Structure 1
Amino acid sequence: MILAVIFIIVSVITGFLVTYFLAAKYSLFERGAYGIAIGLGLQTWLVYLFSLIWKLQFICIYFSIALSLLFCILFFIINRSDIKLKILYEATDIKKDFLLNKTSYFAHIAVFAFFTVIFCRLFYRTIIWKETGIYVGLSNNYGDLPLHLAYITSFAWGDNVPPLDPAFAGKKLTYPILSDFLSAIFLKSGLNFRNILFIPGFLLTISFYGILYYFTYRITKKRLAATLSTFIFFLSGGFGFYYFFQDLANTSGSIWEFLSNLPQNYTKIPPLNYHWITPLTCLNVPQRSFLFGFPFTMLIFLFLYTGIQKKQWKEFLFAGVVAGALPFFHTHSFLAMLMVTIPLGIIYWDWRKWFLFFFPAFILSLPQVWYFSSHVDSERFFKFQFGWMAGDENFLWFWIKNTSLFWFFVIGGGVLFFLKQNTTALSRLKYFPLTFLILFLIPNILLFAPWAWDNIKMLIYWYLGVTPLAALALTYLYENKRLKILSRTVFFLSAFSLIAAGFIDVFKFAIAPINGWKEFSTEEIELAKQIVNETPADAIFLNATVHNHPVFLTGRKSLMGFPGHVWSHGHSGGREREVDINAMLRGKPNAISLINKYKADYAIIGHHEKRKYANKDFFKKNYTCIINTRSYQVFDLNKKITPDLTSDIVVKKNGLSVRYYDNEDWRGAPVFEEITADINFNWANDDDKFVPSPFSIAYEGYIIIKNAGQYTFTLASDDGSWLYINENLLIDNGGVHRVQSKSETITLKKGVHKMVIKYFDKGGGAVLKLTWKPLSRGRESVIPARALLPQKPLNTLKNRQNGLSVKYYDTIEWHDEPIYEDIDTEIEFDWPNNSAKFFNSPFGIIWEGFINIDTADTYTFVLSSDDGSWLYINNALIIDNGGSHMVREKSGSVFLEKGKHKIKIKYFDEKGGAVFRLLWKNSDGSVVKIPVERFSVHENESSEANEM
């Protein structure tokens, strides 16, 4: 925290002092506004250059601060008397001006305070912390925030310098990085996510506010015009405010209730072709590169205007240095700057001065431009499209309704400016604002980004460049004394039309109560912390291709994030990689080879992956799970599991085959297939669902019936479901409805019976649960996985060579007939609750059979259980671990001759968790599991045919 404060103070002081290299006269307020952007930009570049050597480490921050302090000290020593006089002179100037224009100063202080509050609240809402997770306060920032956090954390925690794209592993980062790099410096300095976004956003927007004010003031020489320019730009919008009043008229609640829950944005109404969104909510906050792009680009224009006006070469040189630093801050701003400065150079040609601008701009920007051009698929960035977003709508009307009366005041202000400059010695300055029209004409013909709307990143500089003209025209209306009442009426109505829609949208996001839009849950934040602690900084993750994956909070690299971001940033091969990622997540036959191809280190399986039909069993079977939370598992793809080919689990997969369809009537090819025994889900909305609605599911396989008799099945669902046994419809729970249950009883013979369940969901919640009552008695329970098979077995029990016979009872006293029988090869379990248990509590179990002893000796057995358990060998009680208790371990010893000995184990569970383990001691004293090969059901042979 302290380091961040020192960094900011040193940066601002350095930037402030640097302005004294300029030749023209500037006020202290100007130098303060310019110094914030210049100082933070200079420090960011310095730390980045040091990071190319050491990565982003504290030494880089210390060195940049030390260099800046050294500069400040030397600057004061060399220019002490001169700087002192200039500061005193400028302070005196402000004092005199204040005494002469108190009303104007107080008015501007009020306006500045208003915008300061707006900026503060907007940037403070960039991230909203709640108990349930991280939310974003602006809807326009929902898609961008996680990507910026990915960049920031990759610099601070992922050693990602020189930068690779953390959202497209293995590719160079083609996004302008330095705004996010500044936030990474703050993150490294100990600030939290909210403050690393709030502090640079707030400071640089305050700086930009001052630069815009003084840019307008230097062009118009009118304080009112300068003040109006900030309203015109920051609250710009079109005629969308008409729909605000329409919605207000139709509301049934109070005005405050309506204002607190505005039904839509009024500068962004795509169905009505409103696309000119007020800059504060669509550019300043979500498009973080504009944090430096706006102030730096407008500084360049301001210095060039001043240099042309005052004939000062230092302004040209300084503007050239800032222009050369611009591409890594914001590429679109750099392009916009070139499109204006080249014609400015032609109009105001003085080769010496323009050489001082273009030479440093060219030398400094060349490596940055080469870097971007060599790693971007330029074919996606430049193509012809007339009218920007106008489409089939009349071009002129499209721009009038999107920008209100702005064009009319630009034309009026242009005429006034032209006439005013004709009366001065520097009449050539009258052409200066006209060069900004290029930034309107070209982006209305040519697209500069894959997304057409992104041309606003160029068009916004047309708007900025001619805003002083519109402000001048409005000022003329206000100051007109001939028709004062009429002029001021027109002034207020016109000003209202220019800023009403933008003000409403800014009010919605900055002032009104807001719940926000959820980006990351608390569980995902904790998961990110575990990933940071337990994985290397350069790790590559296999995850679902979504915009807000928790891996973006870790500084680690993702094989791929949101495909739209990959495409819009000019990367090629995105579609192929997306297909491969889906194949890996689904555990397709080529999944392992693809994982090796992309060199992924870890895989995350959670909510996002399930919606991409991820096959968790594939990863559980093949890779080690290193992190396990309620909804997420992280698998180490460098730690493969060698399957135990003797395991009964490998030989026989339990469950039913399930197929998911992306329609409600099982049409076409399934979008996902797997084998599952979990016929039980309750999904509240599409975010929870495995497949978004509408969808359908078909389960198919066989149910093993060990004892003939009547079985009651219950099917609960929302929406429709059907259960078929032996191809006959047993339960019809069809139709669109809320959760409802239906039950039917059927008599089944001992053996295997075909089972099919069909389900569909039309929308809303999705619920399905299948339960049964074996032999139509006892409690209703979920059908155990071991009773379900995806294919008809071939003498399943005959294939089991070893084990003990097991009987389950629905009491803790082993009364009546058992409700389930089998041959058990896994004589242990650890079930934390009823949903994990084979049968719901209370229940009892008896294992019986023989244990084969190959050497006569004394053997020590160990019983660990929750609740009671007893071990009998040759009808003698060896261990009494009875009673209701938590997990408890007891042991007993017995001498056994070589050969087979009768063994019996009894167990019961009353409630809570259910745990059971049978172990013995090796000759070395270690306690181990008894090999299943030691057990058999019959005395005379290790395996005997058992009919089903």
Structure 2
Amino acid sequence: MVGIIWLCAFVAEGEVIARRAFGRHALMTRAWLGAVIGLVMAMWLPTLCAFAMRFTVAAQWTALGLGAAIAAAVYLGLKPRRVLPGDDAPPWLATLAVVLPLLIVGAYLQYTHNLRPVDGAYYVGQSTYSDINLHMSIVTGLRNASFPAEYILLPGTRLCYPFLVDAMSSSMYMLGTDLSVSLWLPGIVMMALTFLGYACLVWRIGHKAWMVVLCTLLLFVNGGFGFFDMFDMVLRDPSRFINIFTGYYQTPTNLPDLNLRWSNILVDMLVPQRTFLAGWTVLMPALYLLLGATRSQRRLEFVATGLLAGCMLMINTHAFLALGLASAGFMFWQLWQATREVKQAGARADEARARRRKLLVNYLIYGGIAVVMALPQVLIWTINQASEGGFLKFHFNWVNNDGGLIDEYFWFWIKNIGPVALFIIPALLDSRGEQRMIAVGAFTIFAVAEFIVFQPNIYDNNKLHYVWYLLMLPVTVRYLERLWQALRAAKLRGIALLMAGFMCCAFVSGTLTIAREWISNYQLYSATEVSAMEYVDDNALDDAVFLTGGQHNNAVASLAGRKLVCGSGTFLYFHGLNYAQQESDAASMFTDPVGNAALFEQYGVDYIYISNQERSQYALDESLIASLYPLWYSLGDINIYAVSERAQAAMG
């Protein structure tokens, strides 16, 4: 309960800041911006305090006090601002009509997919079966950690993965919140802010209630024409239909065998990928504020956007990069337009030059703030990860290029995105004014994502493509509106049926994917593992090193937060980390503990953890291990042996 109160206090501080900093905005918008600011402070301030006092309980309360001081300074330092008319925010009815159903689905999935306790065991869903283990290892492993923290999956290696959202959950966990609640409660809050944020963004762009509803649904219930492939298989074999809902990743939005790769954002991104969710929580207000700044050219709005952008790198690197690329596109378009105005201004050319100069200075201030804030993050964290290799390489055509085209270029995007894809290019060409600026920013992201890979996993460039998509949706829907009006004016028959077909094709694949995720249910950790880890957490040395297998669902790291000789390559490889030696040494210690006694000393191994997973991974002789080291704990298939002198001494 204390951890929940702590989080609510940060949100309250954010609301105080927003009340003064964004006083021009309507209540809904201001409340949304304030909640986001509160979460950003809850992620960042304890981390900053941890550099001076480790990631301790004291650091959490110090951070909360620091947040209160910041809120007071902003409230007292800024003058009150007049509230704008109510049209600054989307209509309540339209907003609730789209946000509430999405939030109900999202909240249910957050609860059921993040360590749902059942008879002493922990269950998750299909989409979280893998990634949640990494996030849990960070949440439990950050307790009392010195900063910069290390991977507990690879001790001695600095934690370079964007960890701030997991640090926020770790703060709640340290303050007494149940581990599962510390995962799903912030997840629900961030999903609500993401849904509401996109609704506000679309309203700012299009200013139409129906557009808010349609664009929000097209973004979060996304899916392409994959359902045609699925139905074709069902027609040939009716038993395949049930496989959509029971098979492991057999949905029409994520089936690599058929080159269906446009995963549903709601269930395959926001639920399992916590850093992606946190990134979008902050990305939506950053884009919202940036668009407002491009209209008003008020310097304070550019400053506010720069401050928010500067916090994003270690929340989600892809969101930070996407925002930067979109901003570059916006700036290019506005400067180009301003230059044209200078040429056409005639006698008033000096005024046009002054406007262009102000425009450039505002963008430089915004970008300068973001870069100055991001640079320490790069030097402390990102550069260490990038130096390991596998980053920044040329690769054209995302996952559709595996030594050549798998699908024809445009068909790949059409079949994955669905009917919306047919109108994106026409919408780009037809756009004018601000719509063209948004499209240029969006396609700046797309162009870079199509030619450069920023991580070892090529597929992860979808995190850039999705931002291109969310920006192009309002532009494309506005184009569809004009097309619809032209068809109605021509009094063509059957256009209502055409619209119904569009809606059906746009939402069937996404709906099937969400339905499959809704009913998915997998045991991640058995009751035996949970009980064993409760004992480990209460009795093992806080800085103990465990020798375990390389399974992705490693109970020692995820539930007890203890260091491993080497964690799962499933995570380490895609973080660009070199773990080959540690993995080999772990296998050597399991299979020949006598001949590799020096390795136990080298890695400082305190305990050997043996379960059926280790027995299946290695040709180990457990009777030999039992003769060398005393049994520290045993339950079911789990045996834990005390190796080091200090571990044996702690046995009493």
SS at match of 2:412: helix
Q: Equivalent residue of 2:400, what SS?
A: coil
Counterpart in 2 of 1:598? Answer: 603
Matching residue's letter, 1:370: L
Residues 327-361 of structure 1, C-alpha deviations (whole Å, 9 max, x = no match): 11011222222222234333334232123212221
Provide the rounded CA distance (Å) in 2 between the counterparts of 1:441 and 1:79.
40
Q: 1:379 is paired with a residue of what secondary structure?
A: coil
Which amino acid is the alignment partner of residue 367 of structure 2?
Answer: F
Alignment match, 1:145 = 132
Measured after TM superposition, the shift of residue 364 of structure 1 is: 1.0
TM-score, normalised by the number of residues in structure 1: 0.61
Distance 1:24 1:78 in 2: 13
The 8 Å contact of residues 605 and 614 in structure 1, kept in 2 or not, is answered as: no
The residue aligned with 1:548 is 553
Instruction: Verify the 8 A CA contact 2:17 2:71 in the aligned structure 1.
Output: no
3-state SS in 2 of match to 1:626: strand
CA distance in 1, matches of 2:233, 2:146: 48
Matching of residue 200 in structure 1 with residue 186 in structure 2:
yes
Structure 1 window deviating more from structure 2 (391-400 vs 485-494): it is 485-494
Secondary structure in 1 matching 2:154: coil
Shift in Å, 1:60 = 2.3
Give 2:638's match in structure 1, choosing from 632, 640, 649.
Answer: 632
Counterpart CA distance in 2 for 1:594 and 1:119 is 46
Residue from 433, 438, 441 that aligns with 1:432:
438
Aligned to 2:455: 449
- Identify which of 137, 155, 160 aligns with 1:174: 160
Distance 1:484 1:133, change over 3 A: farther
* In structure 2, distance between residues paired with 1:484 and 1:19: 50
Aligned to 2:540: 535
* CA displacement 1:49-89 (0-9 Å, x = unmatched): 11222223232222233333445556666779x46x64xx7
User: Map of 1:456-495 to 2, 5 A cutoff?
Assistant: 456-476=462-482, 481-482=488-489, 483=491, 486-495=494-503
Change beyond 3 A, Cα 1:120–1:477: farther
Amino acid at match of 1:385: H
Within 5 A, what are the aligned runs for 1:346-495?
Answer: 346-349=332-335, 350-371=359-380, 372-377=382-387, 379-391=389-401, 392-418=406-432, 421=433, 430-476=436-482, 481-482=488-489, 483=491, 486-495=494-503
CA–CA distance in 1 between the matches of 2:89 and 2:412?
A: 44
Residues 416 and 7 of structure 1: CA distance in aligned 2, closer, same or farther (over 3 Å): farther
Contact 1:236 1:278 in 2 (8 A): yes
CA contact (8 A) 2:26 2:89 kept: no
Indicate the residue corresponding to 1:119 in structure 2.
106
CA contact (8 A) 1:309 1:429 kept: no
What secondary structure, in the 3-state scheme, does the structure 2 residue paired with 1:434 have? helix
The equivalent of 1:67 in structure 2 is 66
| Matched-pair contact (CA < 8 Å) for 1:376–1:571 | no
Give the aligned partner of residue 268 of structure 1. 254
CA contact (8 A) 1:248 1:258 kept: no
| 1:747-781 alpha-carbon deviations (Å, 9 max, x no partner) | xxxxxxxxxxxxxxxxxxxxxxxxxxxxxxxxxxx
CA distance in 1: counterparts of 2:499 and 2:451, whole angstroms: 33
Write the mapping of 1:479-518 to structure 2, written as runs, cut at 5 A.
Answer: 481-482=488-489, 483=491, 486-510=494-518, 513-514=519-520, 516-518=521-523
Instruction: Describe the SS at the equivalent of 1:135.
Output: strand
**Among candidates 566, 591, 603, match of residue 586 of structure 1:** 591
Listed one character per residue, the Cα deviations across residues 796-855 of structure 1 (whole Å, up to 9, x for unaligned) are: xxxxxxxxxxxxxxxxxxxxxxxxxxxxxxxxxxxxxxxxxxxxxxxxxxxxxxxxxxxx
Cα distance change, pair 624–117 in 1 and its aligned pair in 2 (3 A)? same
- Measured in 2, the distance between the counterparts of 1:344 and 1:38 equals 24
Q: Decide whether the 8 Å contact of 1:405 with 1:498 is kept in 2.
A: yes
Describe the SS at the equivalent of 2:459.
helix
Distance between the aligned counterparts of 2:471 and 2:524, measured in 1? Answer: 36
* Separation in structure 1 between the aligned mates of residue 201 and residue 575 of structure 2, nearest angstrom: 32
* Preserved contact between residue 146 and residue 519 of structure 1 (Cα < 8 Å): no
Shift of 1:175: 0.6
Q: Deviations over 1:374-408 (max 9, x none)?
A: 34335312222222111332122111111112222
Rounded Cα–Cα distance in structure 1 between residues aligned with 2:611 and 2:277: 35
Q: Residue 57 of structure 2 aligns with which residue?
A: 58
Deviation at 1:6, TM superposition (A): 2.5
Q: Which has the higher contact order (CA 8 A, sep 6+)?
A: 2
> How far, CA to CA, are the matches of 1:131 and 1:24 in structure 2?
50
Kindly report the root-mean-square deviation, in angstroms, between the aligned alpha carbons of the 2 structures.
2.9
What's 1:622 paired with? Answer: 628
Deviation of 1:186 (Å): 1.6
Shift of 1:110: 2.3
Aligned amino acid, residue 117 of structure 2: W
Contact kept, 8 Å, 1:605 with 1:632, in 2: the verdict is yes
1:581 aligned partner, one-letter code: A
Who is 1:135 aligned against?
123
Change (3 A) 1:585 1:253: closer
Is the contact between residue 23 and residue 314 of structure 1 (CA under 8 Å) also seen in structure 2? no
Cα distance change of structure 1 residues 416 and 215 upon mapping to structure 2, 3 Å threshold: farther
Letter of the 2:531 counterpart: E
4+ residue runs over 6 A deviation: 77-80, 250-255, 257-260
Identical aligned residues as a percent: 22
Task: Give yes or no for the alignment of 1:187 onto 2:173.
Answer: yes
Instruction: Look at both structures and tell me which one has the larger radius of gyration over its CA atoms.
Output: 1
Matching residue's letter, 1:499? F
**Alpha-carbon distance change, 501 to 365 in structure 1, aligned in 2, over 3 angstroms:** same
Flag the 1:337–1:584 CA change in 2: closer, same or farther, 3 A: same
Mapped partners of 2:428, 2:332: distance in 1:
20
Q: Report the Cα distance in structure 1 between the residues aligned to 2:27 and 2:646, rounded to whole angstroms.
A: 65
Whether 1:566 aligns to 2:572 is yes
Q: Decide whether the 8 Å contact of 1:226 with 1:471 is kept in 2.
A: no
What corresponds to 2:228 in structure 1? 242
- Answer yes or no: is the 8 Å Cα contact 1:46–1:64 preserved in 2: yes
**TM-aligned CA distance change 1:536 to 1:276, over 3 Å:** same
Q: Which residue of 2 aligns with 1:32?
A: 31
> Counterpart in 1 of 2:580?
575
Q: Distance in 2 between matches of 1:106 and 1:300?
A: 24
Distance in 2 (CA, whole Å) between partners of 1:258 and 1:388 is: 28
- The one-letter code sitting in structure 2 at the alignment partner of 1:467 is L
1:12–1:36: 8 Å Cα contact kept in structure 2?
yes
User: Counterpart of 2:396 in 1: which secondary structure?
Assistant: coil
- AA of the residue aligned to 2:609: I
Offset of 1:538 from its aligned partner? 1.4
Deviation, 1:195, is 1.4
Bigger proportion of residues as helix: 2
Query: Retained in 2: the 8 A contact 1:36–1:203?
Result: no
- Which of 308, 315, 318 aligns to 2:301? It is 315
Aligned equivalents of 1:361 and 1:76: distance in 2? 23
Deviation at 1:443, TM superposition (A): 2.1
CA 1:384 to 1:78, structure 2 compared with 1: closer, same or farther past 3 Å?
A: closer
Give the whole-Å Cα distance in 2 for the aligned partners of 1:14 and 1:520: 37
Q: 1:12–1:40: 8 Å Cα contact kept in structure 2?
A: yes
Q: Distance in 2 between matches of 1:478 and 1:558?
A: 60
Quote the residue 1:212 is aligned against.
198
1:107: how far off?
4.2
The separation in 2 between residues aligned to 1:485 and 1:70, in whole angstroms, is: 64
Whole-angstrom distance in 1 between the partners of 2:243 and 2:393 = 43
Structure 1 pair 315–266 and aligned structure 2 pair: CA distance change class (3 A): same
The aligned length equals 614
Letter in 2 for 1:126: H
TM-score, normalisation: structure 2: 0.87
